Structure 1
Amino acid sequence: MININHLGLIVDERIIVRVFHQIEKGSMRTIKGIIVHQTDSSSAEGSFNSYRNGAAGAHLLIDKDGTIYQTASLFQQTWHVGKLRSRCLAELSCSASEMPIAKRFNPTGTHRRELQKSVPNRYPSNEDSIGIEIVGQALPLNEPNPDKRVYEELTVAQKDSLAWLVRVLTSKLGISTQEIFRHPTVSYKNATEAAGATW
């Protein structure tokens, strides 16, 4: 079982702590879910360089060889999710009055409405979820339309590390396994991102 210290850092021999305070965006008081991403970079160092420059980032990163890095405190928000999709629309559970509004393509409006709800009536967001990045690029690089690019397959080592990490985090933090999602499920992202991720 992992331990989490007073700084929100995971204490375990499998995790290398390499925190980038540039990606920490304010206190996270509760953790309701986990969102699994891919970095769209070819290496962990490429992601670290973007974190140093203030790009969006996540709490944890899994390199191609399965090495797990903690890049932000679990007590801090990181901006890893983006605009939320309508969960009730995806799960066909909207009320009769909400359904027509939820069906309209309006990412900003949908995001605002969703944030007025609580998990599990909405997807976990930046304010209450842990982000796990997995190193992998969307290819080909020369494709100008990001939605036509396809993310690299996860390595066996990445899949093993992700499964272990999700298992220990859900156990330690009491996160429901129903609140773990791939990034494109909860936000408007390339559908192939983390497609091979399993937990």
Structure 2
Amino acid sequence: MLLVSKAGIVDAERIKVKIFPGLERTPMLKVNGIVVHQTNSSTSGSTFAHYQSAGAHGAHFLIDKDGTIYQTASVYKRTNHVGWLKSRCLETRKCAPAEFRDAQKIKGIKKLSAHEYKKEPLVRYPGNNDSIGIEIVGREIGKVEGYETVNEAQNGSLRWLVRELVETLGVSMREVHRHPEISYKKPSEARSAKWQD
């Protein structure tokens, strides 16, 4: 279990604290999920440079190529890391028939996302307001090749971090998702990320 300060900063030997206040938005009252991303950059430095720009989007943690884990935002603050939500009902087909039909009638990803964000947590996918984001350094190699393979050092750190966050924040392992599963991202993003043995 992680030791977390009142400000949402994690105190752990494996985590280097490098907070970017510009990533932090409003308070996050409850964490219902974890979303795993890839940076589409080849170094942590280029990601950190982006995090310093005005209005930057980013996640709460970043895992470098050597497995180093950085905390980049408070776990008690919302960050913009998810984007437009997919419909959990449409994606999983595990919902009432009437709900499925209603979701099918909504045209456009912005409207569908707004519809999803109005739903209770766990009925919808976790979004910006209730999820922790973990970025893994790795760029998109090409349209066909997709994103770089997440290496073993990164996956080892990801497994440890997810396990600790799940225990500390009371998140279900079923609510840990790759970014493209829940939002409109390239399917190869974080495809090779492994957080379970």
Rounded to whole Å, the distance in 2 between the matches of 1:59 and 1:46 is 16
Tell me which residue corresponds to 1:143: none
1:83-121 CA distance string (max 9 Å, x none)? 000001111123222323423552111111111111210
Give the 3 Å change call, closer, same or farther, for CA 149–188 of structure 1 in structure 2.
farther
1:126 aligned to which of 125, 128, 150:
128
Deviates more, 1:170-179 or 1:92-101: 92-101
Tell me which residue corresponds to 1:135: 137
SS at match of 1:97: helix
RMSD across aligned C-alpha pairs, in angstroms?
A: 1.3
1:53-108 CA distance string (max 9 Å, x none)? 03210000000000000000011100000000000111112322232342355211
Rounded to whole Å, the distance in 1 between the matches of 2:104 and 2:148 is 31
Rounded to whole Å, the distance in 1 between the matches of 2:47 and 2:152 is 20
1:125-155 CA distance string (max 9 Å, x none)? 0000000000000123xxxxxx656100001
Q: Does 1:168 align with 2:164?
A: yes
Q: Taking every aligned residue pair, what percent have the same amino acid on both sides?
A: 46
TM, length-normalised to structure 1? 0.93
SS at match of 1:69: strand
Tell me which residue corresponds to 2:118: 116
Rounded to whole Å, the distance in 1 between the matches of 2:38 and 2:104 is 28
Equivalent pairs counted in the alignment come to 193
The unaligned stretches of length 5 or more in structure 1 are 141-146
Tell me which residue corresponds to 1:144: none
Structure 1 residue ranges, 4+ long, deviating more than 4 angstroms after superposition? none
